[in-house]
Amino acid sequence: NRAVWRALEDAHAAGKVRVIGVSNFLRDDLENLLTGCRVRPAVNQLLLHIAGTDLPLLDYCTRQDIRVEAYSPIAHGEALKNPAIVKMAEKYGVSAAQLCIRYVLQLGAVALPKTADPAHMESNADVDFAIPEEDMEALKNMERIANYGEFSAFPVFSGKPLA
């Protein structure tokens, strides 16, 4: 990781890139990088969603001024199948996807939902509502999603399960 990071720092110093970051770095990975870096990571892309929130890692990144990007705020679509998430979304008159995106935003992270459907893109951006703290706590403490279906083995993890 350090050798690759040095190459990114060199590209940054040369003006070839404006911002550099990491993906799927845990606290130990970040601490290792931060002990010798010239440029701090601007972002850490993580699997972050309702029923899959690593609050200590999110807090650590925040304290280190590393922005967290949730690359699958809808849990690879599995959150849309969760009755508790769907029920809470109905409470606010929004879709489960919108609730998931709002949740990530209220945690202080950036949500990167994946869709090719323009209608979904528009709907995903319509998250101008707030989740009260009581419901945020319920969502933070929801039982973890154990199976992401076809996405349970993700190439970046060398086929290891995500959960």
- Residue 153: pLDDT band by 50, 70, 90 thresholds? low
Identify the three-state secondary structure at position 88: helix
* Strand arrangement, sheet containing 110-111: 22-23, 43-46, 67-70, 110-111
For residues 128 and 62, what is the distance between their CA atoms, to the nearest angstrom? 23
User: Taking 70 as the threshold, does the pLDDT of residue 136 lie above it?
Assistant: yes
Contacts for 47 with CB less than 8 Å, ≥ 6 apart: 24, 70, 71, 72, 162
Higher pLDDT, 155 or 139: 139
Residues 20-31, mean pLDDT to the nearest whole number: 95
pLDDT digits (tens, 9 = 90+) for 58-115: 999 999 999 999 999 999 899 999 999 999 999 999 999 999 999 999 999 999 888 8
Q: Is the CB of residue 45 less than 8 Å from the CB of residue 71?
A: yes
In this prediction, residue 100 carries a pLDDT of 96
Stated pTM of the model: 0.87
